[in-house]
Amino acid sequence: TGYEEAAAQGLVAGTNAALFLKQAEPMILSREESYIGVLIDDLVTRGVDEPYRMFTSRAEHRLALRHDNADRRLTPVAHRLGLAESARVSRLQQKLVEIQSVMGTLNDHRVNGVTLADLLKRPEVTWKNCLEMLPSLSSVSHEVAVQIENDIRYAGYLRVEQQRIERRRQHGEKSIPEGFDYCRVRHLRAEAREKLEQIRPCTLSQAGRVSGITPSDLTQILLHLDQPGRA
């Protein structure tokens, strides 16, 4: 409907207006930490030709932007800015302590020589199976169980994604060779390929400022450039 997108912009605008009056640093949410960050970045750097709608497909880091870890991602930011009460922060801290404790249990308890944490990485193994193998886990809240299960299942993907984020930050000024053939870049969208072939940016950062080019497109170009003999 657009209400959520409007509310997100209002939240950011109101917060930053108050921070401006206090002569404090503005609240800037990145694409890596929130969907609000994705929305603001898209509007500022790419503009719109029609009403903006937030879809998960717009976020290249959607595995990290899960609803079950929203409190972990944003409560510290909200508390620092005075937008979250102490009770909320206390609940998060208790939750994090419980997560750490349960993760320790999963890594310590073994079934046929394999830890429960490693078993939970397998698609066919669920939290319910873990409860059957270790009944004491029944005291774990549903909220914590869901977050632990997701953290374990996506750990490998998230690690690779974080490495890509760091590489993209480090290689923003990486040169794109003259005459670079974008048709050779695997998984690059047709729309991105057409625009880049026409504009011919000299660096990755310039490519990122081309309307319609997404961070995912830049990642594919960077991966291609880093392969020996592929530039």
Q: Is 41 contained in some domain?
A: yes
The yes-or-no verdict on residue 1 having pLDDT over 70 is no
Domain assignment present for 76:
no
**75 occurs within a structural domain:** no
Q: CB 41: neighbour CB atoms within 10 A?
A: 16
Q: Give yes or no: residues 144 and 204 share one domain.
A: no
DSSP 28: -
pLDDT digits (tens, 9 = 90+) for 143-179: 999 999 999 999 999 999 888 878 777 777 788 999 9
User: What pTM value is reported for the model?
Assistant: 0.73
The count of structural domains within the chain is 3
Q: Strand pairing partners for 110?
A: 115
Query: Can you give the residue range of the structural domain that contains 195?
Result: 182-225
Lowest mean pLDDT among 16-20, 26-30, 57-61: 57-61
State the Cα angle at 92 between 85 and 133, rounded to 5°.
Answer: 160
pLDDT at 4 over 70: yes
Please state, in angstroms and rounded to a whole number, the distance separating the CA atoms of residues 225 and 231: 5
Whether 157 and 189 map to the same domain: the answer is no
Strands (E), 71-220: 110-111, 114-115
d(CA 70, CA 141): 17
Question: Tokens 């870049």, residue?
Answer: 185
Residues 166 and 188 in one domain: no
DSSP state of 84: S
Residue keyed to tokens 């873990």? 130
195 or 231, higher pLDDT: 195
